[in-house]
Amino acid sequence: MVTIAGIDEVGRGPIAGPVVVGATCFTSTVSYPQFTDSKSLTEKKREQLVFEILEKADKWVLIAVGPQTIDRLNILEATRHAMTRAMSYLQAEENLVDGNMRLETSLSYTSIIKGDATHWQIGAASILAKVWRDRLMKSYDTIFTGYDFKKHKGYPTPVHKKALIKHGPSPIHRFSYRTVSQLGGEIQRALLTSNSDELLIASEKDDYFFTPPPEGFSEYS
């Protein structure tokens, strides 16, 4: 049987937190149409499906790229590098990548625009990445208080923008993003000192990091 991997990202649009690439590998000839674009599903439905994905996938990986690396490389390059690393980890015979991505890799892959809605392997990856990132942002809400990360997950909502003006940027904000630089003032990341900042930096390895899995994922890691 041919091994097929689906690869997708979540978190390019937010102004805080990591971009997360999810990748799932299946050899089963059974189709799972319920694994579809995470954006089309409710949070409750995603939570229901994620453990089914983890149980049915032959192999999976999540790679989070932190805000410091995003600031240095830019969001597109950071996403490309994470996708390439995910493909290298899974070593599937076929790789289905969401979007119009051009990756520097010797591995065979096919980029598919809106692939998360048309190919369930990519849909599974999108659900996995979305649930994982949402849980991570909820955990950050207890560390970086005042921003309401648990609700907007780092996206530039009106509430988030007001908090940015009031508190300035946190260590997990993306300083290269215009919204952060305009609303967050001139505070530099190097001047932000807190125990939580040290935890974030300690999580980084080689610019990319496999962060400790949020609650509910540890049994599968």
| Domain coverage including residue 175 | 141-192
What stretches of the chain show up as alpha helix (H) in DSSP? 43-56, 67-73, 75-90, 115-118, 120-141, 149-152, 158-167, 178-183, 195-203
Radius of gyration of the chain (CA): 17
Coil, helix or strand for 194? coil
Q: Nearest 5°: phi and psi at 13?
A: -80, -30
Is residue 50 a part of any domain in this protein?
Answer: yes
The CATH number of whichever domain residue 118 belongs to comes to 3.30.420.10
Is residue 198 a part of any domain in this protein?
Answer: no
Is the same domain home to 123 and 30? yes
Is the same domain home to 9 and 76? yes
Q: What is the mean pLDDT of each run of 10 residues along the chain (221 residues)?
A: 94 95 88 86 90 89 89 92 92 95 93 93 94 91 94 97 93 92 63 37 35 43 34
Q: pTM for the whole thing? A: 0.83
For the chain, the domain total comes to 2
Q: How far is CA 138 from CA 115, 141, 148, 185, in A?
A: 27, 5, 9, 25
* pLDDT attached to residue 94: 95
Residue with token string 């496999």? 210
